[in-house]
């Protein structure tokens, strides 16, 4: 049976931003309610080693770090619900009692006096029919999830940014050869990552190449090769034998039901006021990758989650809600 939940703060999303907002809000006595969404833990659940999150002298595993954040949020008083927000009524403002109305996939109704949107971003795909055909049969967007299945095999990573280079480096722990396919003649990844890439003998870079088709064989059919196009001469193609393909070309914001409720940019990222987590609607805040297409780091996501909670606390105090 559907339930109605009342809260001073509803946090939508369970990544570093959402958990940090929850920790700060709970410690302030706001009794936050966090709705996890489809992927509790966010992108860090598919990140192998994290070396740049402050406080750890040695690399830590992404899933472990997110589990620690979840336990901390619950320990200080956050209530977690495993649901997905599918409807939101925000742009008309709160009702007469100060509540915004949202609805979950479960049918539950959420009445919240403040909302922190921390739904993150999801991996982009190439858009090829063959890519869809072979998802789960050799095509993946998660090296940490699927790299184990390619021990001693040849794989390809598509992309040229931090995500692609990190995926390629991780896959060298499993695959015999990792082919990095990039449509340009230089990478966008951080220099330290580029150095690690160039220093790794298992990685072969294919410059100025784009994937034209993903080829499979067998019954059931699985990936066996890529058809590559020279981006400087679109008439020239070549075939590269691989057993797996990992797409790492960026992310799209998971704006979902909030896309037309708060101001967003042309790509769908939520716009926040400079130096704040405040959106175009008073009482509605955004934190993490849903509003950050520049840095996309766990530490910056956590920082904006902190900002969102502190701003929400201030909003409630001004409205004389809560304590």
pLDDT digits (tens, 9 = 90+) for 284-310: 999 999 999 878 789 999 999 999 999
User: What pTM, to 2 d.p., does this model score?
Assistant: 0.78
Instruction: Inform me whether the pLDDT recorded for 188 exceeds 70.
Output: yes
What is the per-residue pLDDT across 154-175, written as a single tens digit (0 to 9) for each?
999 999 998 899 999 999 999 9
Residue-averaged pLDDT of the chain: 93
Instruction: Inform me whether the pLDDT recorded for 321 exceeds 80.
Output: no
Structure tokens at 3: 């339930």
- Cβ atoms 231, 208 nearer than 8 A: yes
Q: Length of the chain in residues, anyone?
A: 323
> Tokens 């196009």 label which residue?
229
pLDDT for 46 equals: 67
Confidence band of 323 (pLDDT split at 50, 70, 90): very low
> Which residues, in sequence order, are bridge partners of residue 87?
103
Confidence band of 1 (pLDDT split at 50, 70, 90): confident
CA distances to 14, 163, 191, 252 from 187, in Å: 31, 11, 9, 20
Instruction: Inform me whether the pLDDT recorded for 258 exceeds 70.
Output: yes
Please indicate whether residue 179 or residue 140 has the higher confidence score (pLDDT). Answer: 179
> Which residues, in sequence order, are bridge partners of residue 222?
217
Beta-strand relationship, 154-158 and 177-181: parallel
Of all residues in the chain, the percent with pLDDT exceeding 90 is 80
Please indicate whether residue 238 or residue 142 has the higher confidence score (pLDDT). Answer: 238
Instruction: Inform me whether the pLDDT recorded for 77 exceeds 50.
Output: yes
Residue 227 Cα to chain centre, angstroms: 29
Letter string b/e over residues 153-165, b meaning 16 or more CB atoms within 10 A of that residue's CB: ebbbbbbbbbbbb
Confidence band of 72 (pLDDT split at 50, 70, 90): very high
> Which residues, in sequence order, are bridge partners of residue 237?
229
Please indicate whether residue 230 or residue 40 has the higher confidence score (pLDDT). Answer: 230
Q: How many CA atoms lie within 13 A of 63 on its CB side?
A: 6
Average pLDDT over residues 210-227: 95
Which residues does the annotation mark as catalytic? 142, 145-146
Instruction: Inform me whether the pLDDT recorded for 194 exceeds 50.
Output: yes
The secondary structure of 107-174 as a DSSP string is S-EEEESSEEE---EEE-----HHHHHTBTTTEES-HHHHGGGGTTSEEEEE-SSHHHHHHHHHHTTT
Please indicate whether residue 297 or residue 98 has the higher confidence score (pLDDT). Answer: 98
CA distances to 33, 38, 59, 92, 245 from 175, in Å: 42, 30, 21, 53, 12
Instruction: Inform me whether the pLDDT recorded for 221 exceeds 80.
Output: yes
pLDDT for 294 equals: 78
Average pLDDT over residues 110-123: 94
Q: How many CA atoms lie within 13 A of 49 on its CB side?
A: 10
CA distance 225 to 243: 7
């Amino acid at each position: 049976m559907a339930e109605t939940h009342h809260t001073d703060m509803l946090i939508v999303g369970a990544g570093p931003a959402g958990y940090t907002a929850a920790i700060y809000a709970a410690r302030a006595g706001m009794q936050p309610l966090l709705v996890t969404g489809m992927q509790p833990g966010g992108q860090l659940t598919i990140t192998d080693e994290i070396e740049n999150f402050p406080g750890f002298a040695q690399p830590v595993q992404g899933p472990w770090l997110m589990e620690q954040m979840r336990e901390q949020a619950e320990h200080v008083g956050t209530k977690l619900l495993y649901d997905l927000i599918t409807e939101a009524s925000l742009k008309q403002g709160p009702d007469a009692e100060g509540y915004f109305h949202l609805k979950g996939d479960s049918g539950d109704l959420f009445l919240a006096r403040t909302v922190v949107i921390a739904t993150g971003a999801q991996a982009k795909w190439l858009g090829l029919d063959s890519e869809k055909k072979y998802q789960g049969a050799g095509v993946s967007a998660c090296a940490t999830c699927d790299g184990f299945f390619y021990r001693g095999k040849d794989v390809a990573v598509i992309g040229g940014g931090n995500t692609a280079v990190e995926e390629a480096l991780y896959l060298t722990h499993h695959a015999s050869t990792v082919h990095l396919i990039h449509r340009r003649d230089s990478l966008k990844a951080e220099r330290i990552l580029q150095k690690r890439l160039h220093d790794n003998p298992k990685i072969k870079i294919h410059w100025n190449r784009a994937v034209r088709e993903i080829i499979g064989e067998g019954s059931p059919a699985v990936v066996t090769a890529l058809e590559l196009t020279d981006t400087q001469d679109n008439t020239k193609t070549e075939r590269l034998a691989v057993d797996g393909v990992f797409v790492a070309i960026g992310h799209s914001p998971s704006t979902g039901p909030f896309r037309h409720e708060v101001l967003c940019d042309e790509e769908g990222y939520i716009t926040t006021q400079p130096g704040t987590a405040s959106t175009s609607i008073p009482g509605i805040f955004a934190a993490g990758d849903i509003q950050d297409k520049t840095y996309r780091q766990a530490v910056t996501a956590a920082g904006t989650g902190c900002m969102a909670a502190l701003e929400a606390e201030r909003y409630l105090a001004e409205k004389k809600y809560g304590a």
